Chains A and B, each alone.
Chain A
Amino acid sequence: MNILAIETTGAYASVAFAKADRGHVQIISRINGQDRFSHLQNLAPQIQQVLDEANLAVGDLDLIAVSKGPGSFTGIRIGVATARALCQALDLPCVGVPSLEALAMRAMPGEIALGTGAAANCRQIEADAQQTSENCRKIAADDSQSPENGRWDLGNTLICPILDAKRSQVYGGGYYIRDGFPVEEVKAGPYTLEEFMEAVKDYDEVLFMGDGVDKYGDEILRVRTGRTAFAPEEIRYQDAWSVALLGCKMQTEGNTVAFDKLQPEYMRMAEAERKLREKQGK
């Protein structure tokens, strides 16, 4: 099965092409845009390029996986509109992948194991504690648990992608990686930073990912008491690699939809609508 994956909810457009064969997914090619928030200009050419590199035509595709949000509203729309129109024109099924879950998957070491082309760009977290401690800023709760002494066990680490939603808010969620896929532990949704830190307060080991780290890293370190790490930049942001993997899994679980059923996941009302409803007391 030939899968095209699109991820435009972050600052850089990312497109991947993957082949799936009885549960084994291989990333054949991936292109990440170089210009911040230039999705509209870059996405369609990147798709063309990814297919060219894989020596394929659009007609060879079987499934389109798209990161449906949360994230940049504009980015979400460009990705979803593109996926919908491709599926409509090519008569393909599509799958809307939650961006936070896909991002959480980047924390797992599998990013190396599964993809050949992807390997060069990616880094492992669990396997090499030494490297992890170099790349991640960690605060140990007490010295006996300092990063030099303890390995980070990914199975016990709560993976928290947080995306900057402006005005001290984030779109965030907490996941454990089980059998290579994220399992929701802290409900994905819009939070104030304070609310989110409260929600993850009782977890001893937390890895934060996403552009929320760039924005709120210092604040997070200030309030956290348990062990805390930030994903290294190589795996910190949204990427079509994990959208392809998760999309493929969702497909096998029967979660594909027709193009007109693919919905964006904004997680927040338009500001004008919120104000209007407030005024109307709804």
Chain B
Amino acid sequence: MIKGKFAILAIESSCDETAAAVVLEGREVLSNVISSQIEIHKAYGGVVPEIASRHHLNNVNWVCQQALDQASETLAAMDAGETSVISDAALKEGGSGGGLSMDDIDAIAVTYGPGLVGALLIGLATAKAYALAMGKPLIGVHHIHGHICANFIEHKDLKPPFMALVISGGHTNIVEVSDYNEYQVLGGTRDDAAGEAYDKVARVLGLGYPGGPLIDKIAKSGNPEAVEFKRVFLEKDSFDFSFSGIKTGVLNYVNSEKQAGREINVPDVAAGFQQAVLDVIVTKTVTAAIQMNKDKIVMAGGVAANSRLREMLQAECDKHGISLYHPSPILCTDNAAMIGCAAYYNYKAGKISDLTLDAIPNLPL
């Protein structure tokens, strides 16, 4: 216990970020350390699982140590009465302190899926060894639950029920959240995740990797109506997505323009593509909220940081009297604070894992 509060050390390693955090009672983040490998994988145009796994192994112990050290600093700052600096201290880099140790931690939380199996297992092996060494409970967390729970950290008063839009490199889901531990998936992608479509289109347009932020940025200077790509809504009433058609549309457009010897206006194409993707996402998410009587929509996942998506969803929510929530960028990316938050609600519901906990790359929601 730390200051009489249940303290969780959480570890996240499902893709290309090695992350660890110390979280009190689910919502109070004492530290949130993220070691990103994004620069390493840029050279390959995407995450290479074997390389990601090797870096996770190199980083994980140090990242956990940093999380404990920074949590100590945050506590010291709190003790000094500077309560207003908590979040700054928790998020800033560096720090060497000490003071807080594994003994102060009440449970170890770890992402066990979905994700890259070789990446997940580094976090899992580490978390299990900590749990075994310290005799503390182990709590396995679903990565997507974590993303949704990031909102509980950001918005202290937010409570279920609400509708969640989970949108990241690997996921595009509309999820009905009726309670802290009750998630019902209403729809998901039938082919590419939105983030994958972004990555592929960015590659075709020569923008580089990762595609999400690059397209979002360049699209700002483009005209979203200059090039029209077909929106794919699938069957009526379906909350599923399909993005491969839009992606192919962009590919075909770029090829035919090239063949005709015409210069491609990259900002216009990026804006047109993004508009087509986001139109579908926004429409379906708001429709789901209305149909299921939810007056709140919560955004989660890496692509939730996309500025255009936020604008469009906000405008649509305003029309229908729905409140929109999203986490700050640092909590949108893969991080361990969100895993610590989700783990707390698992723990309160009695959902504790044992040492046989396995990595499940395709863990369903």
Cβ–Cβ contact B57 & A260, under 8 A: no
A260 surroundings in chain B (CB, below 8 A): 61-62
CA distance A44 to B135 in the complex (A): 12
Partner of B57, one of A40, A43, A81: A81
Task: Report if B134 contacts A (CB, 8 A).
Answer: yes
Does B130 count as interface, using CB distance less than 8 angstroms? yes
Contact B355 A270 (CB under 8 A): no
Q: Which of B43-51, B186-194, B203-211, B328-336 contacts A (4 or more CB under 8 A)?
A: B43-51
Q: Report yes or no: B125 in contact with A89, Cβ–Cβ below 8 A.
A: no
| Residue B244 is within 8 A (CB to CB) of chain A in the complex | no
Cα separation A182 to B283 with both chains bound (whole Å) = 68
What A residues does B62 contact at CB under 8 A?
260
CB contact under 8 A between A86 and B118, given known A40-B124, A270-B48, A272-B51: no
Q: A272-B48, A272-B50 are in contact. Are A58 and B358 (CB under 8 A)?
A: no
Contact of A48 with B by CB under 8 A: yes
On chain B, the residues within 8 Å of A23 by CB distance are none
Does A88 lie within 8 Å of B122, measured CB to CB? no
For A83, what are the chain B residues with a Cβ–Cβ distance below 8 Å?
Answer: 129
B50 close to A73 (CB less than 8 A): yes
Q: Does chain B have a CB within 8 A of A82?
A: yes
A77 to chain B minimum Cβ distance, whole angstroms, is 5
Interface positions, chain B 157-201, Cβ under 8 Å from A, are none
A86–B132 touching, CB < 8 Å: yes
Q: Which residue of A lies closest to B57 (CB)?
A: A77
Measured between alpha carbons, how far is A48 from B131 in the docked complex, in Å? 11
Q: Across the interface, which residues of A come within 8 angstroms of B102, CB to CB? A: 89
Is the pair A90, B133 in contact by a Cβ cutoff of 8 Å?
yes
B47 to chain A, nearest CB (A): 10
| B50 near A81: Cβ-Cβ < 8 Å | no
**Residue B320 is within 8 A (CB to CB) of chain A in the complex:** no
Known: A40-B124, A85-B61, A260-B61. A270 touches B50 (CB 8 A): yes
Residue of B nearest to A86 (CB): B129
- B110-167: which residues lie under 8 A (CB-CB) from chain A? 118, 121-122, 124-135
Q: Are A42 and B356 in contact (CB under 8 A)?
A: yes
Does B220 reach chain A (CB closer than 8 Å)?
no
Closest to A43 in B: B125
Cross-chain contact of B126 among A58, A73, A85 (Cβ < 8 A):
A85
**Does B60 touch A at the CB level, under 8 Å?**
yes
* Count of residues in B whose CB is under 8 Å from the partner chain: 35
B333-360 near A? 1/0 per residue, CB < 8 Å: 0000000000000000000001111110
Q: Which of A58, A77, A270 contacts B121 (CB 8 A)?
A: A77
Residues of A in contact with B, size category: 20 to 34
Q: Are B50 and A45 in contact (CB under 8 A)?
A: no
Quote the shortest CB–CB distance from B34 to chain A (angstroms).
19
Taking the closest CB of chain A, its distance from the CB of B35, in whole angstroms, is 14
Q: Kindly state the separation between the CA atoms of A254 and B172 in the bound complex, as whole angstroms.
A: 53
Q: Which of A57-109 contact B (CB under 8 A)?
A: 58, 73-74, 77-78, 80-86, 88-90
* CB-nearest residue of chain A to B112: A40
Rounded to whole angstroms, the CA-CA distance of A235 and B339 in the bound complex is 43
CB of A255 closer than 8 Å to a CB of B: no
Report the minimum CB–CB distance from B152 to chain A (whole Å): 28
User: How distant is B228 from chain A, measured CB to nearest CB, in Å?
Assistant: 37
| Inter-chain contact B126/A84, CB cutoff 8 Å | yes
Decide yes or no whether A179 CB sits under 8 A from chain B.
no
Chain A nearest CB from B54 CB (Å) reads: 7
Contact: A271 with B50, CB < 8 Å?
A: yes
Q: Is A264 an interface residue (CB 8 A)?
A: yes
Cβ A259 vs Cβ B61 within 8 A: yes
A47 within 8 A of B: yes
Give chain A residues whose Cβ lies under 8 Å from the Cβ of B51. Answer: 270, 272-273
B65 CB-CB contact with A under 8 Å: yes
Q: How far is the CA of A80 from the CA of B56 in the complex (A)?
A: 12
Contact A89 B355 (CB under 8 A): no
Inter-subunit contact A89/B356 (CB<8 Å): no
Whether B61 contacts A78 by the Cβ 8 Å rule is no
A120 within 8 Å of B (CB atoms): no
Residues in A with CB closer than 8 Å to B50 are 73, 270-272
Among A40, A259, A266, the one with the most B-chain Cβ atoms within 10 Å of its Cβ is A40
Q: Which of A45, A74, A86, A88 is most buried by chain B, counting CB atoms within 10 A of its CB? A: A88
Q: Are A77 and B125 in contact (CB under 8 A)?
A: yes
Q: Please determine whether B358 and A40 come into contact, CB atoms closer than 8 angstroms.
A: yes
A85 touches B130 (CB 8 A): yes
A45-B61 in contact given A77-B122, A82-B128, A272-B50 (Cβ < 8 Å): no
Ordered by A's residue number, 9 sampled pairs between the chains whose C-beta atoms are within 8 Å are A44-B125, A47-B132, A84-B60, A84-B61, A84-B129, A85-B125, A86-B132, A89-B130, A272-B51
4 other A-B residue contacts (CB within 8 Å) besides A264-B57, A273-B51:
A41-B357, A78-B121, A81-B129, A266-B54
